[in-house]
Amino acid sequence: MELIQTQVFKIANNMQRLSGLVRYDDGFTEEYVFEIPTKYTISHSGNPWLACLLPLAVTIGEDLKLPLPVDQVFLDATDDLIKLWKTWYPKLYDINVYADIGVVAKSEDQCATFFSSGVDSYFTALRHPQAQPMLLTLGFDMPYRYTNKFKEHFDRISKSAVECGGLLIPTATNIRETRWSICHWELLGHGPALAAIALLFEQHFSEVLIPSSYDYNVMHPWGSHPMVDTLFTTSNLHFVHDGCGYSRLDKIKYLTKYKHVLSNLHVCFRGANGQGQDQYNCCNCEKCYRTMVVLELLGKLKQASMFKESKVNLTKLALLYGDQVFLAEVHSFAVEMKNTKIEKALQKSINRSKRIDKIKKINNIPFLWRISTFFYNRAIAKSLT
């Protein structure tokens, strides 16, 4: 695969678009776009493109050719990055990257962070007030086509950023609507996607914080990971995977000290119709519900106004299918708080999740995958997710 052409031009609302044509080995060509405000100098290097396209290259097994200069530090690290990914996911390919070497001249020295008004991003923003530029991207959790919805979404989160002492910067990309979408978003793609967005600002930022998803007790393979994110570092821009010393429960406890956080906490990425993030927490998906449980155990759920439900439904909780790491953590907290009803409902949820995960594993066994898919769909239909 090869990046064959790039151009930058202004679009509406003081935004600029970086457009690139990518041609694959089968001859198919499609456009990738990135958008940032015109007040910032957009990178003309190959660094954002390398970060973006590398996970697709290793997924489809095509060498990557870039006509733009790439930073030596970053290019050297790609070999380690590919080997790490292949250690985690042996079916990925070992590919070559072809690019010239070049260093981007810096004009500013700022620390930035990603901010979505979720648990992880709020925690990082409040602990690192020096990270005043805050990045929010249309095209990640909220689909790129939701341009009108994104304005309302951005305006709300922008107020939250100001309350944290920061300034929210709108960005956008269509990568999840291109062939790139065959990359597994959670396990592989979202870390490189975050790095690609940050590298668009490489003349402005010297450090970018990426809020952690998991703590050090749960260091399983994941798209954004302390062993992955730092490998996107260049000579001028350093990436920090922030917050691994704290569990999700620790973070929520910390955030409940801030009224403005409780009233704006937005953890849902599915939306009311399950098709992408919208303006509220759906109160049906696993991420919403396990957060609601912790807030209720802390006596703070009613203050979290982005959740439409002010009380946990134990029947729904018992049917929850989700990440057993987080469910087990919340279950232990329910035991600690001596809430027997929530504890029992969570145990049913954990047991159910284990059964469903066993069914999913059968998908890898030849001739049995159709049977496992039937029972998996039947089981998951009763779940919140």
DSSP letters of 163-178? HTT-EEEEEEE-GGGS
Nearest to 269 by CA among 260, 261, 279: 279
Domain coordinates of the chain in residue numbers?
Answer: 2-242, 267-380
| Alpha helices in 135-277, H assignment, sequence order | 147-163, 190-199, 226-229, 248-255, 259-262
**Between residues 278 and 240, the one the model is more confident about:** 240
Mean pLDDT of 72-98: 97
Task: Note the pLDDT tens digit of each residue in 313-358.
Answer: 999 999 998 888 999 999 999 999 999 999 999 999 999 999 888 8
Residues whose CB is less than 8 angstroms from the CB of residue 326 and which lie 6 or more positions away in sequence, other chains included: 248, 290
Query: What is the pLDDT at residue 368?
Result: 44
- Containing 31, the helix (H) or strand (E) segment is strand 29-37
pTM of the model: 0.91
3-state helix, strand and coil shares in percent for the chain, rounded to the nearest 5: 45, 15, 40
- Phi-psi category of residue 13: left, alpha or beta, with phi > 0 → left and psi -120 to 50 → alpha: left
Mean pLDDT of 138-145: 93
Least confidently predicted of 28-37, 47-56, 69-78, 370-379: 370-379
What's the chain's Rg over C-alpha atoms? 21
Query: Tokens 């802390």 identify what position?
Result: 298
Identify whether the C-beta of residue 233 lies closer than 8 Å to the C-beta of residue 70: no
Number of C-alpha atoms within 13 angstroms, CB side, residue 160?
A: 31
Cα separations in angstroms, 279 against 124, 148, 265, 359: 22, 12, 11, 34
Residue 276 has pLDDT above 80, yes or no: no
Query: How much of the chain, in percent, has pLDDT values that exceed 70?
Result: 93
